[in-house]
Chain A
């Protein structure tokens, strides 16, 4: 009985030891938990919500017109089709360039820098409203 108890304790100690080793290994590897996924998604959604606000604000241009006046729920923006040849611009462009075209033309405003947080927010919202639609780059 004593022998098995010892064995058991030894195994337990070994397991705990291994467990600590494993724990220290996972904090170095690119391992993530459900909790991490949830949190990162919240980070993303916070930017989507900022984009939703901007999209509906009427503040991106100089004439109070907001994107949602022509694109309710960002419909008809077709983010899944970019990059594509855009005939109004004469070449293949990305979604962010099309966003800037809209800000400059119907909204009569100044284009955003491509790394502007506002642009990131808009792109996040526009693509989020189109989630689940397969990619179709180049589609007119």
Chain B
């Protein structure tokens, strides 16, 4: 039997690593959030942030010259785009809903299926997707950043590199650094739960919190902890969204897998709803991941409708109904057979459901709160 001292050692080790990362952070974490993890090879500097901001908003990195990261990740829309699925060049539709970038720095993987391990590696993918920016390769980006005099200055300040020294590594690191600064906590919930301000949330939201940690079972995946709340467990779960789009038999599944093998995951999953419905399975090829998607954070969730990986839920009320029915929008729908083990009917009353929605609306950070 393990003794408590080895557990303590483990705890100290984990704390040491967190401190190491935290030491690189130039600013304090907001209320309710831990220090943002920073990779050792890409510390945050104001110069990188400024460069990343410009790259993020530059529409020249697309075939039509009209699409930038900010097109689908718009600050005015909670760094999402308010659409069920995003639209890239020529309004081409993908299959997935744009996740918010706010607090994405805390996620262990990026994209709904976690196919990229970091903000840096994720940032280079949409450029090459035919329904996003549409480029064949990154050369047009490098051409611009190496020749544009404004970029010359910024890259020199940020990385001490000019001309052909500038590679996609620097572009990715700048974008990643900019996104890493998009963190926000300090919502009414944080004030209530971590600061002890009992007036910070409405009575309905307070009741909703009870449901959230009790009968609603939300807390088990959308984590709230003793000293922080990321509202995600960074895991992948099949909760039943788009269950009816999933491959029905071996033939359809083989075709979807074939699609992924031929086009690569990034392009395949955005090109075809059935392939997209594979979720994490397209990355791990593990049967237990079929239809599983990453638990997103719920912070600022009020701002980022519509919901779920395919934007199929228009409102928070719909989302709560879906969970209350155990993974179905309509009680009469069949129960998806491959549901993650955490999803089951909740038997919440109408009042409890309304309170839960009120609580979710208390997760909006003041700097993004809509007046």
Contact = CB atoms under 8 A, between A and B. Distances in A.
Instruction: Judge A-B direct contact (beta carbons within 8 Å).
Output: yes
B224 A90 contact: yes
A88 B4 CA distance: 21
Contact of B223 (A90, A92, A140): A90
A87 interface: yes
Contact of A104 (B4, B7, B215, B224): B215
Contacts of B226: 85, 90-92
Contacts of B19: none
B213 A136 contact: no
A85 B7 CA distance: 13
Contacts of A90: 213, 219-220, 223-226
A85 B214 CA distance: 15
A139 B213 contact: no
Q: Rank and list the top 3 A-B pairs by shortest CB-CB distance, nearest first.
A: A90-B219, A90-B224, A88-B220
A46 B226 CA distance: 38
Contacts of A88: 219-220
Interface string B216-236: 010110011110000000000
Contacts of A136: 3-4
Interface in A55-85: 85
Interface string B299-328: 000000000000000000000000000000
Q: Is the interface of A mostly helix, strand, loop or mixed?
A: loop
A105 interface: yes
Interface residues of A, number: 13
A90 B219 CA distance: 6
27 contacts: A85-B226, A87-B220, A87-B223, A88-B219, A88-B220, A89-B213, A89-B219, A89-B220, A90-B213, A90-B223, A90-B224, A90-B225, A90-B226, A91-B213, A91-B224, A91-B225, A92-B226, A104-B214, A104-B215, A136-B3, A136-B4, A138-B4, A138-B7, A139-B2, A139-B4, A139-B7, A140-B7
Nearest to B220: A88
A87 B226 CA distance: 10
Interface string B1-19: 0111001000000000000
A105 B224 CA distance: 19
Interface string A9-47: 000000000000000000000000000000000000000
A105 B217 contact: yes
A17 to B, nearest CB: 56
